[in-house]
Chain A
Amino acid sequence: MLLLQNKYVGVARGHRNFVVEMRSSIHNEHEEYLRGEYAARVSGEGALQEVGITLAQAVELRREFGLRSHWLDPLGEWYRLIRFMPLDARRKLKGTARLAQEMYIADRILERYLSERTGKPQQDTEDLAGNPDDDWARRFYGRTKDYRDPEFLEVLLTQFGLYPGPAVVLFVEGESESDLFPAISRLLGYGFSHFGIQVENLAGVNNAPKVVETVRYLSRPAPSGAGQLLRRPLVTPFVVVDREGPVERGRLIGDMTEGGLQAYLHIWNRDLERDNFTAAELATCLKQTYGTDSTVAAVETWMESRVPLDKWILRTFDKQIRKRDLVPALLRLIEADLDRGDDGRPVVQLMIKIIRYACRSLPVDDPRRAGLLIFGH
């Protein structure tokens, strides 16, 4: 192993991002030795003859060495996960776990040498106790193990419940929604970050085709191999838009419906304010927030019209407002509802639905997701 380590230890220690830099300060004697005598010693059967064992004995020796290393590893159940870590991270382990990592490197040196000598890939260290002709990973993961493939890392992270991707990506139209929705979630108990929900502000719906493509990409399940097992947990994109508005909004709704993505779409009957709050409530909120002299009758008149709220206030009261300033007042109304035990407001029901999507307690009605298997869920 000492003989072989110069040639193989770089690859044996590396991980998938491993890149070596050349050293320029090597003496010429080393260069000559490595290119001459050393190369002759490690080529062909030279290394085995020098140690005095046959190839079959070397295979058996590697099997015993690898098995012993794996048995003494207290983190043996996490072998695949830890193997993906870079060398620096593995060397932060202490005690027997660190010893096992050192021995794994030795085992991989032998593994690479033997796979070159025998001409066929050798077993992974943790598989040495099993049948060499049985690729259990293909049956279990739907693919063979490859520690240089980030997609295999995705499978492992999913298996161990570590996949860091969001559970729900919520696309909203404006700043008021992106402020209001997480706040409602906090009123319900936990914030969006607790559930793995990300909010993306579309800032208008002018880029409708991009949104449809993003939703299509996010909603597509990522299988691991040919089976029904997923390499990463399902991500649920969700778009919340008003029904009324410019032409692009109609295009967005039309494209998503035609593309079979209507399960990921929520359309207010008119818009957020008109659907969720009464004229009296809005009149009070406007007065508190902007100091406008808005009566209930005036707000009722606005609700009958198709004018957005900010434009109506600009026209009626000659005042430039930001709609997101209204959010605290709206939240006070919702909080009072929840204190009474009333969660019937549509926006609260929508938040509960999205949280259930994030917790995967409510499946999305998408035929592409039927029958899929996922680790740990």
Chain B
Amino acid sequence: MPYVKRLKTETKRGRQRSRIRYDRSMSTETGRAAPCAVGPTFQDPRLYVEEAVLPEREVLALAHECGLEVPPNLLAWYIENGYFAPVIEIAVLDGPDTPPILGYSRWQLLPLFELERARHNSLKIWPDRPAGGQDRQSWQWQLQTVKPGLRTLSEDFRPLARARAPAAEQVRRRRPRTSELRC
């Protein structure tokens, strides 16, 4: 490809680049090149390795940009009750007592959106009534009746969640107590 060749000759580090060139043999494409604007030299997976997972602060900031106002304590509640799980837990080897660093995927925003929608749709507040006079339904109760579509959508995260948090899976299946049905 002449375009790629021109780029390679312009760079000062051409020799070093060519040494670590992307090897076609590791490609999953079997013989046929995918239609793509960039040549195979540039389809190198290492380009994006550093942002595969996001810390909680960044994923919540991204959720904010996407219109989801999720405070950290709500996220913690979702995780604790098995509706949501980080995709990775990185143990801190130097500090055994330090809690592991949790990593999230940006694609988890869709399950988060579904959870938030279920919560917003179920919570009804009567401003003229005191706390005791509100509906007996709460969003925590309503989340138990989330449609099966949500579970299907979360399927790609489920194996990870199952591996990382088996206890959370049990919590998810547990029927809510009557006391939890109150607001």
Contact = CB atoms under 8 A, between A and B. Distances in A.
Contacts of B43: 7, 10-11
B48 A1 contact: no
B97 interface: no
Given A6-B49, A34-B45, A24 B13 contact: yes
Interface string A148-163: 1000000000000000
Given A2-B52, A6-B52, A116-B34, A103 B109 contact: yes
Contacts of B44: 20, 22
Given A2-B105, A35-B23, A96 B34 contact: no
Given A7-B45, A34-B46, A35-B23, A68 B153 contact: yes
Contacts of A53: 155
B145 interface: no
Interface string A92-107: 0011101100110010
Interface string B58-98: 00001001111000000000000000000100000000000
Contact of A20 (B47, B52, B149, B160): B47
A38 interface: yes
A7 B62 CA distance: 22
Contacts of B42: 10, 19-20, 22
Contact of A102 (B23, B47, B106): B106
Contact count band on B: 35 or more
Nearest to A100: B66
Interface of A: 1-2, 5-7, 9-11, 14, 16-20, 22-24, 26, 30-31, 34-35, 38-39, 42-44, 51-53, 61, 64-65, 68-69, 72, 94-96, 98-99, 102-103, 106, 112, 115-116, 148
Interface of B: 13, 16-17, 20, 23, 26-29, 34-38, 42-49, 52-53, 62, 65-68, 87, 105-107, 109-110, 113, 149, 152-153, 155-156, 159-160
